[in-house]
Structure formats: structure tokens, C-alpha cells
């Protein structure tokens, strides 16, 4: 998506200021301020289109037990996720060597079968699904697209006369100083929200810490050396485990409420 203030025939600085004021929003639960220049309908359409492509190009698992577990856990998490007009869809992809999952805007969640031996049970899978659903609820995809669009505007306004070398250096600084740390912040935020969602869905939040410890051990065994935290879009396992442990009292409160429901 391209935003060009020249089309509006106004000063780029005024356009940027108005854009920031109009697009200011806050993430549910955490209250973190975020910039959103993409509306939910556009975001959902893009997510749905990409998910359809993936379903055509990537083998879908035919494992009845794995598929049943994913639908069971996914629907329970979706039921407590505060996302209006979501078109939730949970698909298990047949990738036994890929221990991963993802969520596209609008509520399209993909899980690779390689993560199931690490999740082990419903609560472990709820940790993963809660995390991915949280990305959709917090609209992290739209936020990153909005940041890219704003950087393009700023580039046109401020870098128009800058040499190509300087432009490349500034863009590199943006990537290392803004994009990667923000992505790590989004991951930690998804951990936070996902922990609350799994607790509200009736899954013991302590199992989230257990899952990430298992995943950490898997990384050490199969992933070789750890990635450098500064250059990683995901936080190191120790940091996310520490955050989750600190959030357990809040999540326990939510979990206990489910025990009182009829």
C-alpha cells in the first residue's frame, strides 16, 4: 500500500502529522500505542488471499488426531479472543520437520505438524495458538505495514535529495534500530496476550512456561548456536520465559475464573 502526500497537494509534514493523529490506536489489554494506517477489512482480505495460496502450495495434514486437536483448541481460544468479525480458520500443515506456527491478518492460523511433538498436549498447543491469535487481535501485521508506509512517506519527504549511499545507510539503521526491536516487542506482547487467552479458555497458564522450556531445549538440540538477540526478530527463549513467569499471577486469576463457570 502506497501513501503519497503529493497527490493531496499538501505539505508532507502536515500530512504526516494528520496521519499520525488519525491513525493512533491502542493494543487491547496492554494499552500500547500503535500506528494503524490499514483498515481491518483490507487487512483481513490480504490475510485470506495469502492463506488460500498457502493451502494450495503446502500439503495439509491428514492426521485425524492432530486435526481434531487443532480444531478443539483453536475454537476454544478463538471464543475468548476479543476480535470483532474475525473469520477464524485453523489449518494443520504437513511439515513434520518444521516446528512452527503463524497467523495471518483476519484470523487465519496455520500450524506446522513439526511443532506437535513439542506442544505434547492441548495446553501446550493452546500456548502456541494463544500466541498466534494474539498477533491477529493486536493487529501486528497491519502495524508493521503502517510503519513501512510511514517510512516511505518520511523517505520521500526527507530523503529526496539524499545520496543513494546515505539513503541505504538510513534504511539499514531503520531496519536494525526500529523494525527488528519492534518485532521482538510484538512477539513478547503476543506472549502476554496469548497467556491470558489460554487461561480464559480454561488451560493452565503454567503450561505456557513448560512449553517454552521444552522449545528452548529443542532449539539447543536442533538449532545449533543461539541467534544474537540484537539481530533476531524473536526474543531469546530466556527473556520470554522470564516475562511469562512474571505474568503468571495475572493469568492465574483469569484461569481460576473459568473454574467457577457452570
Active-site amino acid positions: 132
Residue 237 C-beta-side C-alpha neighbours within 13 Å: 17
Contact 138, 197 (CB under 8 A): no
Secondary structure (DSSP) of 200-227: HTT--THHHHHHHHHHHHHHHHHS-SPP
Residue with cell 484461569: 255
237 vs 243: CA distance, rounded Å: 10
Q: What is the 3-state secondary structure (H, E, C) of 137-177?
A: HCCHHHHHHHHHHHHHHHHHHHCCCCCHHHHHHHHHHHHHH
Closest to 212 measured CA to CA, from 198, 230, 228: 198
The three grid cell numbers given for residue 145, joined into one nine-digit string: 505495514
Amino acid at each position: 500500500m502506497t501513501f503519497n502526500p503529493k497527490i493531496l497537494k499538501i505539505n508532507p509534514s502536515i500530512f504526516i502529522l494528520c496521519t499520525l493523529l488519525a491513525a493512533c490506536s491502542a493494543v487491547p489489554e496492554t494499552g500500547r500505542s500503535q500506528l494503524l494506517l490499514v483498515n481491518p477489512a483490507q487487512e483481513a482480505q490480504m490475510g485470506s488471499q495469502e492463506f488460500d495460496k498457502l493451502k494450495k502450495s503446502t500439503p495439509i495434514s491428514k492426521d485425524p488426531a492432530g486435526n481434531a486437536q487443532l480444531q478443539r483448541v483453536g475454537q476454544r481460544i478463538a471464543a475468548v479472543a476479543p476480535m470483532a468479525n474475525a473469520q477464524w480458520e485453523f489449518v494443520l500443515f504437513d511439515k513434520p520437520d518444521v516446528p512452527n506456527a503463524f497467523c495471518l491478518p483476519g484470523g487465519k492460523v496455520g500450524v506446522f505438524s513439526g511443532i506437535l511433538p513439542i506442544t505434547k498436549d492441548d495446553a501446550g498447543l493452546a500456548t502456541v495458538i494463544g500466541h498466534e491469535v494474539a498477533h491477529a487481535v493486536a493487529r501486528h501485521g497491519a502495524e508493521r505495514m503502517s510503519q513501512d508506509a510511514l517510512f516511505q512517506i518520511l523517505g520521500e519527504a526527507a530523503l529526496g535529495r539524499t545520496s543513494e549511499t546515505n539513503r541505504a545507510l538510513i534504511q539499514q539503521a531503520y531496519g536494525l534500530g526500529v523494525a527488528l526491536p519492534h518485532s521482538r516487542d510484538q512477539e513478547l506482547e503476543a506472549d502476554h496476550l496469548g497467556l491470558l487467552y489460554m487461561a480464559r479458555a480454561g488451560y493452565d497458564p503454567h503450561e505456557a512456561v513448560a512449553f517454552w522450556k521444552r522449545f528452548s531445549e529443542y532449539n539447543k538440540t536442533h538449532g545449533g548456536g543461539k541467534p544474537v538477540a540484537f539481530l533476531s526478530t524473536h526474543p531469546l527463549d530466556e527473556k520470554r520465559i522470564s516475562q511469562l513467569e512474571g505474568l503468571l499471577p495475572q493469568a492465574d486469576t483469569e484461569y481460576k475464573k473459568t473454574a467457577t463457570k457452570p
